[in-house]
Structure 1
Amino acid sequence: MSIEIKMPALSPTMEEGTLARWLVKEGDTVKAGDLMAEIETDKATMEFEAVDEGVIAKIVVAEGTDGVKVGTVIAVLAGEGEDAGSVSAPKAATPKAEVAPAPAAAASAPAPAAAPKADGDRVKASPLARRIAAEKGVDLAGVTGSGPNGRIVKADIESAKPGAAPAVAAPAAAAPAATATAPAAAPASVWYDESIPHEVEKLSNIRKTIARRLTEAKQTIPHIYLTVDIQLDALLKLRGQLNKSLEGRGVKLSVNDMLIKALAVALTQVPKCNVTFAGDKLVKYSRADISVAVSTPTGLITPIIRDAASIGLASISTQMKELADRAKEGKLQPHEYQGGTASISNMGMFGIKQFDAVINPPQAMILAVGAGEKRPYIVDDALGVATVMSATGSFDHRAVDGADGAELMKVLKALIESPMGLLA
Structure 2
Amino acid sequence: MPVPVIMPKFEMSQETGQIISWYKKEGDAVKKGEAIFSVETDKVTMDVESPGDGVLAGVTAKEGESVPVTTVIAYLLGAGESLPAGGAPAAATPQPAPAAAAAEAPKAPVSAPASATPVAQRMAAANALDLSAVQGSGPKQTITKADVESALARRGEEGKVRATPAARRVAREGGVDLDTVAGSGPRGRVQESDVQDFLSTAPQAAAPAQPQATAQASSADFDTIPLKGMRRTIADRMVASYQSAPHIMFTMSIDVSSLEGLRKRMNEQAAKRGEEKISMTALLTRAVAWTLLRHPRLNSTLTGDEIRQYKTANIGIAVALEDGLIVPVVRNVEKKGVAQLAAEINDLAKRARESRLTPSDVTGGTFTISNLGPFGIEQFTAILNAGQAGILAVGAVQKEVVVVNDEMVIRPIMRMTLSADHRTVDGAVAAQFMADLRSVMENPDLLLY
Question: Deviation of residue 3 (structure 1)?
Answer: 1.2
| Paired residues for 1:401-412 under 5 Å | 401-412=426-437
> SS where residue 406 of structure 1 aligns?
helix
Structure 1 residues 351, 78: CA separation in 2 closer, same or farther (over 3 Å shift)? same
Equivalent of 1:413 in 438, 443, 446: 438
TM-score (norm 1): 0.76
> What amino acid does structure 2 have at the position aligned with 1:220?
S
Q: Contact 1:276 / 1:363 at 8 angstroms: preserved in 2? A: yes
Q: Contact 2:73 / 2:88 at 8 angstroms: preserved in 1? A: no
Question: Deviation of residue 422 (structure 1)?
Answer: 3.3
Find the counterpart in structure 2 of residue 41 from structure 1.
41
> SS where residue 38 of structure 1 aligns?
strand
Question: Deviation of residue 56 (structure 1)?
Answer: 1.3
Question: Deviation of residue 86 (structure 1)?
Answer: 8.4
Question: Deviation of residue 10 (structure 1)?
Answer: 2.0
CA distance in 2, matches of 1:392, 1:226: 5
Spell out, residue by residue over 1:209-255, the C-alpha distance to the aligned partner (whole angstroms, 9 max, x if none).
00000000110000111111100111111101101111143411111
| Paired residues for 1:2-151 under 5 Å | 2-66=2-66, 68-79=67-78, 81-83=79-81, 89-93=87-91, 143-144=204-205, 149-151=208-210
| Paired residues for 1:157-172 under 5 Å | none
Find the counterpart in structure 2 of residue 201 from structure 1.
225
Find the counterpart in structure 2 of residue 239 from structure 1.
263
- Any unmatched runs of 5+ in structure 2? 93-112, 117-131, 135-170, 175-202
Equivalent of 1:344 in 361, 369, 390: 369
Find the counterpart in structure 1 of residue 349 from structure 2.
324
CA distance in 2, matches of 1:51, 1:299: 31
Question: Deviation of residue 291 (structure 1)?
Answer: 0.5
CA distance in 2, matches of 1:380, 1:93: 72
Equivalent of 1:278 in 303, 319, 322: 303
Q: Contact 2:72 / 2:89 at 8 angstroms: preserved in 1? A: no
> What amino acid does structure 1 have at the position aligned with 2:88?
P
Q: Contact 1:287 / 1:307 at 8 angstroms: preserved in 2? A: yes
Question: Deviation of residue 313 (structure 1)?
Answer: 0.7
> What amino acid does structure 1 have at the position aligned with 2:72?
V
Question: Deviation of residue 93 (structure 1)?
Answer: 4.2
| Paired residues for 1:179-198 under 5 Å | 194=218, 197-198=221-222
CA distance in 2, matches of 1:210, 1:403: 30
Equivalent of 2:239 in 204, 211, 215: 215
Structure 1 residues 327, 156: CA separation in 2 closer, same or farther (over 3 Å shift)? farther
Structure 1 residues 204, 82: CA separation in 2 closer, same or farther (over 3 Å shift)? same
CA distance in 1, matches of 2:232, 2:327: 16
CA distance in 2, matches of 1:154, 1:89: 45
> SS where residue 271 of structure 1 aligns?
coil
CA distance in 2, matches of 1:154, 1:308: 60
> What amino acid does structure 2 have at the position aligned with 1:209?
T
Find the counterpart in structure 2 of residue 230 from structure 1.
254
CA distance in 2, matches of 1:156, 1:77: 46
Q: Contact 1:18 / 1:64 at 8 angstroms: preserved in 2? A: yes
Q: Contact 1:144 / 1:152 at 8 angstroms: preserved in 2? A: no
Question: Deviation of residue 352 (structure 1)?
Answer: 1.2
Structure 1 residues 253, 204: CA separation in 2 closer, same or farther (over 3 Å shift)? farther
CA distance in 2, matches of 1:423, 1:242: 15
Question: Deviation of residue 366 (structure 1)?
Answer: 0.3
| Paired residues for 1:238-387 under 5 Å | 238-247=262-271, 248-387=273-412
Moved more, 196-205 or 7-16: 196-205
> SS where residue 385 of structure 1 aligns?
strand
The root-mean-square deviation of aligned C-alpha atoms, in Å, is: 2.8
Aligned residue pairs, count: 347
Spell out, residue by residue over 1:18-58, the C-alpha distance to the aligned partner (whole angstroms, 9 max, x if none).
11111112222222221010111112221111222222132
Q: Contact 2:3 / 2:51 at 8 angstroms: preserved in 1? A: no
Structure 1 residues 196, 22: CA separation in 2 closer, same or farther (over 3 Å shift)? closer
Q: Contact 2:380 / 2:393 at 8 angstroms: preserved in 1? A: yes
Structure 1 residues 152, 208: CA separation in 2 closer, same or farther (over 3 Å shift)? farther
> What amino acid does structure 1 have at the position aligned with 2:58?
K
CA distance in 2, matches of 1:261, 1:332: 22
Structure 1 residues 150, 214: CA separation in 2 closer, same or farther (over 3 Å shift)? farther
Question: Deviation of residue 415 (structure 1)?
Answer: 0.9
Q: Contact 1:43 / 1:205 at 8 angstroms: preserved in 2? A: no
CA distance in 2, matches of 1:11, 1:390: 37
Structure 1 residues 150, 380: CA separation in 2 closer, same or farther (over 3 Å shift)? farther
Q: Contact 2:295 / 2:433 at 8 angstroms: preserved in 1? A: yes
Structure 1 residues 417, 16: CA separation in 2 closer, same or farther (over 3 Å shift)? same
CA distance in 1, matches of 2:22, 2:407: 66
Q: Contact 1:302 / 1:337 at 8 angstroms: preserved in 2? A: yes
- Any unmatched runs of 5+ in structure 1? 107-111, 116-141, 158-192
Q: Contact 2:287 / 2:437 at 8 angstroms: preserved in 1? A: yes
> What amino acid does structure 2 have at the position aligned with 1:71?
T
Larger Rg belongs to? 1
CA distance in 2, matches of 1:196, 1:59: 35
Moved more, 301-310 or 414-423: 414-423
Find the counterpart in structure 2 of residue 170 from structure 1.
none
Question: Deviation of residue 194 (structure 1)?
Answer: 2.5
The sequence identity of aligned pairs, in percent, is 36
Q: Contact 2:381 / 2:417 at 8 angstroms: preserved in 1? A: yes
